[in-house]
Amino acid sequence: MSGDRKDDHVRLAAEQQASGPRRNGYDDVAFVHHALDGIDVDQVTLCTEVADAPWPLPFYINAMTGGSDMTGAVNRDLAIAARETGAAIASGSVSIALGDPSVAPTFRVLREENPDGFVMANLGVERSADDARRAVELLEANALQVHVNAVQETVMPEGSRSFSTWPSSLERIIAAVDVPVIVKEVGFGLSSGTLRRLADMGVAYADVSGNGGTDFVRVENERRPQRDYGYLEGWGQSTVACLLEAPAGAPTLLASGGVRSPLDVARALALGARAVGVSGSFLSVVLDGGAEALRDRIQEWTMHLGSLFALLGAEDLTALRTTDVVVSGATAQFCAARGVDLTTLAQRSLGRSSNAR
Ligand code: FNR
């Protein structure tokens, strides 16, 4: 594993952002507008609670990078923006630093610049229980993200092709660490069946990280001389499809993958996410304008999100989950095929005391 690969990931993921926001599953999700339901923005609280901690913002800077000089500098900027806004933040996979202590500072910077913030360490599911403990120690992390990325490994030139031991490896990691574990995909989604398996294993948090944003098939395929896996682009389920089909009893849900705007954050929260992770959209901001630009962007999203809550008549996350949401297009077709009822979702406000519509 090398720092060059980390640089490639950042460069190729940023290139995907260059053409601007793309249509994705979020475009199939619309709030029903009720013209008299609005409240005052100062009645709104955006705070949430994740992994036993209060988060002032319901969106966070999701796992990206570390492991080279360039990505260490990116992490410094991400950490400063997190510190100045109160956003929670995740590291990229720290595997590389566990094997090569000389690059540990490119991850440690996330904690050093943000000593009081909520910081998540990130590691692949195939790693040992001891590695998981070391990953948490490295960042004095508040939680551990464990990524499950079989699609990425399949296309990655140096990737693994052995996935059968992942469930048992995950169980060992969960048993070994004493911070909350968040199992996450990397942009291909967690199905209802996977969420059920995770719940059975005792996983408390899952970040569904669905498709529609950064596509790691595309990233890894660009790193192959033959570029021979192009046909797999678009693999997986969208973030909204994952949220919609999540079974009762699933781990507490976080949502990432394809989040382009404060409206996408509100959509994911309304569909049940406890918090919403953003990688690609924030990466291009930080690469173009550094920590200050990302701080400004996060503050802008926070302000907009408060306004959207007020417009929707939701004073907090719980109230947002009683808004009427209509799902159409390919996402509705997916839900029909998977036996997910969408009519209740479109009429949730009937149960609200203030609205006898
Ligand atoms: C990622 N992602 C990621 N995820 C993870 O669990 N460990 C990792 O090391 C990385 N590395 C990484 C590098 C870069 C440059 C990007 C953009 C992303 C995946 C990320 O956390 C997220 O799941 C997906 O990118 C989908 O979200 P977006 O990018 O569509 O917001």
Contact 347, 324 (CB under 8 A): yes
Residue 6 Cβ < 6 Å to ligand 1: no
Please state the rounded mean pLDDT for residues 109-123.
98
pLDDT at 356: 44
Contact 158, 122 (CB under 8 A): no
Please state the rounded mean pLDDT for residues 58-78.
98
Q: How confident is the model at residue 1 (pLDDT cuts 50, 70, 90)?
A: low
pLDDT tens sequence across 217-236 = 999 999 999 999 999 999 99
pLDDT at 352: 72
Q: What is the mean pLDDT of the chain?
A: 97
Residue 260 Cβ < 6 Å to ligand 1: no
Rg (CA), the chain: 19
pLDDT tens sequence across 175-201 = 999 999 999 999 999 999 999 999 999
Class of domain 2-26+53-297: alpha beta
Residue 209 Cβ < 6 Å to ligand 1: yes
Question: Is the predicted pLDDT of residue 70 greater than 80, yes or no?
Answer: yes
Q: Would you put residue 259 in left (φ > 0), alpha (ψ -120 to 50) or beta?
A: beta
pLDDT tens sequence across 298-334 = 999 999 999 999 999 999 999 999 999 999 999 999 9
Give the Å distance between the CA of 39 and the centre of ligand 1.
Answer: 36
**What whole-number distance in Å separates Cα of residue 346 and Cα of residue 322?**
10
pLDDT at 288: 97
Q: Which atom of ligand 1 is nearest to the CA of 10?
A: 15
pLDDT at 3: 85
pLDDT tens sequence across 130-185 = 999 999 999 999 999 999 999 999 999 999 999 999 999 999 999 999 999 999 99
Confidence (pTM):
0.98
Q: How confident is the model at residue 351 (pLDDT cuts 50, 70, 90)?
A: confident
Burial (CB < 10 A; 0-12, 13-18, 19+), residue 300, is exposed
Give the Å distance between the CA of 63 and the centre of ligand 1.
Answer: 5
Query: Which residue, by CA, sits nearest to atom 10 of ligand 1?
Result: 64
DSSP 162-174: --TTHHHHHHHHH
Residue 147 Cβ < 6 Å to ligand 1: yes
Distance of CA 267 to the CA centre of its chain: 14
Residue 214 Cβ < 6 Å to ligand 1: yes
Contact 276, 268 (CB under 8 A): yes
Q: Which atom of ligand 1 is nearest to the CA of 280?
A: 29
Helices (H), the chain: 3-18, 69-85, 95-99, 105-112, 129-139, 150-155, 166-176, 192-200, 216-222, 239-245, 262-270, 280-311, 317-320, 329-337, 343-346
User: Residue ranges per domain, the chain?
Assistant: 2-26+53-297
pLDDT tens sequence across 120-130 = 999 999 999 99
Residues 6 or more apart whose CB falls under 8 angstroms from that of 233 comprise 215, 217, 218, 221
Give the Å distance between the CA of 9 and the centre of ligand 1.
Answer: 9
Query: Which residue, by CA, sits nearest to atom 17 of ligand 1?
Result: 280
Q: How confident is the model at residue 354 (pLDDT cuts 50, 70, 90)?
A: low
- For residue 217, report the phi and psi dihedrals to the nearest 5 degrees: -65, -45
Residue 279 Cβ < 6 Å to ligand 1: yes
Question: Is the predicted pLDDT of residue 357 greater than 50, yes or no?
Answer: no
SS3 146: strand
Q: Which atom of ligand 1 is nearest to the CA of 207?
A: 23
Query: Which residue, by CA, sits nearest to atom 15 of ligand 1?
Result: 10
Ligand 1 test: best mutation among 5, 91, 186, 294, most atoms within 8 Å of CB?
A: 186
Question: Is the predicted pLDDT of residue 295 greater than 60, yes or no?
Answer: yes
Give the Å distance between the CA of 215 and the centre of ligand 1.
Answer: 9
Please state the rounded mean pLDDT for residues 225-254.
98
Give the Å distance between the CA of 120 and the centre of ligand 1.
Answer: 13
User: Beta strand 29-31 with 325-327: parallel, antiparallel or unpaired?
Assistant: antiparallel
Q: Which atom of ligand 1 is nearest to the CA of 278?
A: 31
| Paired tokens of 121 | 């360490």
| Paired tokens of 106 | 């490119």
Give the Å distance between the CA of 90 and the centre of ligand 1.
Answer: 10
How many CA atoms lie within 13 Å of 308's alpha carbon, on the beta-carbon side?
22
